[in-house]
Structure 1
């Protein structure tokens, strides 16, 4: 069994989280009064390139000695490549791109990073019990550091919630390490809760943090219910959430409404309004977006003071908040189609684990869910945070020949272009 790729990926994520921890500590010590958004942007200038380089090295080095391997990538991965290239080409040739070549290339790096992290997970190969344990402990320790610092560690956003809940779930399923994991889970979630309750009025807790806690906790709550009730409870929760959004009227921000008392909601609605206005000028832009470097004018936005304090240029803001608006601006309706396909993949993985949970896969899925819901109100997190893409890639690859997700027998399949078709099976241990 080939474990070299999995070991490299584990090393890459360890290095990336260590650099993120160090960066957060340095920024907190040197710039204690810096605005959280500005501090996050400053940290990502250093940590995101390190993460991309680490994953790039782990991915591009030969997975086995003396053999060239060709991997099969899922449709959502190849679709993002196609949509991104098409949008970039059209923005550079037919559509107006005021950001310039350098800014567009910089913005395209976010999507390249997402693809790189996902590819690293998809091609990681066989995961031994030891490698699973190493990856899990790295993620939990990263969440602990984030909770102790009472701040995110860019680019690893909303890492504390899945780390805390993952530790508690593993404690329930692993008697040998129950005391240690329970202690870590309680500490992480306790510190995170304290951070929310004691957040100053000037810097309220982020929506991303709160939603990640609710979703991770809610998903684990499903797993403690009787098996026959889990799917019914999940559908019931989804129906209630939909009803609440419809009755509250918040859903209108998806269509550009921005007359709300809450300035954060109004800001997101106004941004969507500006995105729709930009795309309305061209059917081609509506279909394929304005390209990775596209921006909108937010000079009259409800929360422009916050944008200015974080160092933004109001006349050309390239990272609107809502994930759907962000994808629509950059990649158009085809981008929204890609997002829908990707989210459907996440839903299928959730159903798989609700039906027949496996501790390691549930833990990885918590990081996918946390990163995804954290990105709904703050879109760039979806592409800059490597964990959702990496963990999603691992989960998809390790169920490649077991589409029903049952029996915990997962396989990662690779094909050798030198010797024909050769596959390597990676078995999952149901008792880990």
Structure 2
């Protein structure tokens, strides 16, 4: 029998164990992890550097649950307190702009090391390569049928993650276990994933990166904009801008909605010169052509945007006119070029899916849990945290902060419950 069992050894599960162990150091705490080791996904976050958190906490960067729910969780472990906690565990950090914080040594493995070191010192058990096949509510707690036998837990935390990056062990199996207990979920779909797009220009610009502004249009109306790096791939578009818009693309192709509104069509628009408005760009090019009328059309944008990107755009617009002198461009042709530089349209055909996604949108409905404790409203003694819940964030450390904060709250709440209840949770029918 265990006092507390945590299903999942990812970021939120490890933090739940740390949090619980601080409050109930003498209790029996076990982490059940289906993979060969805990923290596998954590090791690859931030390209192996681990974007721990973002000090510029912005609730608009979170999606799914109401802001009041997310706020109630973060109030118990905000970003600064998270960094202080990691400091007590022995981890230094550095801030690298835009609020993003990384381990000082630049290695995600350092984050996993300090978490595991603390848990080992508190005799928290890690049981890897242990899959949970069934969960039943029993008098006094929960019975788990695992690949290693039956385990009984007085308190149970579901921290098994979503479906993003299945190579790390995430397969969405936690949702099936939760469903067997009667918990409801919204259908998950990939988030923070590169976007597929059908365009003949992609092969010519694949691998190139540029700064710009990307917009997601739903039925011709702009619903979200992101400014930053845009990356062209042979299959579509990527980069932080695109990843932050990909949630809406994923929602559209999964549910035919955008921000939960029925939608017929989505488009991506790229502004390659976001610092100049259309009129200023047009005046700039008119002056350039006036001074250099013999300049070939194919060189018109080489001083403004990436040379290959500009050439691909011009080839798309006027493939037979590239060798013409710029002075021969009609006012209408020049305006078309300007409009396209400011509003280059691509038609998404989906995302690259779970294999390339960094996060899961959708999951267990947060309305089924108390925001102050993350305890199930209908299943006493059961808690959920991390990516398993219907809350996901944008790039920049937001998802990891949700994992830390929600794991902390679930672990603390389970520990306090064990300490304060002399009687077990309300009994259920076998």
Q: TM-score, normalised by structure 1?
A: 0.26
Q: How does the TM-score come out when normalised to structure 2?
A: 0.26
Give 1 or 2: higher strand fraction: 2
Between Structure 1 and Structure 2, the one with more helix by share is 1
Larger Rg: 2
